[in-house]
Structure 1
Amino acid sequence: MNAPVPPPDRAERQALSAPFLIEGEELIRTIARLADERGTPMQEIVALAIDDYASRHSASSPAPEWLRRYWNAHPLPLPTGLKADKRFYDSLNDDL
């Protein structure tokens, strides 16, 4: 059984209310060239590019390998358990 499709959000409603227009002659030529080389419709080329971008730039994706290596090489110091003196730090800003 198929799950019900959730209603479109504001951005989707706005996008669906008008046709998607790609401006820029060079970009259109690039899409057309890719579509011709691969024998796929231009719309599919755009959809594949969007899917690829979304998968590479997902907010839930883990940190890149170089960043994880940096964190391992430069760990944050352990918490001391001491409370910060708020009045002291506030006084530093008041003296400006």
Structure 2
Amino acid sequence: MNAPAKPLTRAESQALSAPFVIEDQEVVRKIARLADERGTPMHEIVQLAVDDYLRRHELRGKASEKLQKIWDEHPMPLPTGLKADKRFYDSLNDEL
């Protein structure tokens, strides 16, 4: 038995109610150029790009969770309000 379909979000409903139009001519040219080079329909180029973006976005979310855990365990010190002395730090590396 199939699971019930997940309800559409507001944005999905709005997007599916009208055709998707890209009004930026430069973006359309880039999609067309890729489609010509690869011999792939333009809608597949867009689909591949969106799939790739979603995959990278999901990976970034997982990395952020790991970083957030590290930051929670090892917080940065509070700012002192003091200004850094560039000449002092340059002198440490003999950069004067």
TM-score by length of structure 2 reads 0.59
**Hey, which bits of structure 1, 4+ residues long, moved more than 6 A?**
none
| Residue identity (%) | 61
Q: What is the count of residue pairs matched by the alignment?
A: 70
What is the root-mean-square deviation of aligned Cα atoms in Å?
2.5
Q: Which residue of 2 aligns with 1:12?
A: 12
Q: Which residue of 1 aligns with 2:78?
A: none
Alpha-carbon shift at residue 2 of structure 1 (Å)? 4.5
* Pairing 1:76–2:74 present: yes
Structure 1 gap segments, 5+ residues each: 78-96
Higher helix share: 2
TM-score by length of structure 1 reads 0.59
Structure 2 gap segments, 5+ residues each: 76-96
Q: Which residue of 1 aligns with 2:44?
A: 44
Q: Secondary structure at the match of 1:19?
A: coil
Instruction: Tell me how far apart the structure 2 counterparts of residues 42 and 2 of structure 1 sit (CA, whole Å).
Output: 32
Instruction: Tell me how far apart the structure 1 counterparts of residues 36 and 10 of structure 2 sit (CA, whole Å).
Output: 34
* Pairing 1:56–2:61 present: no
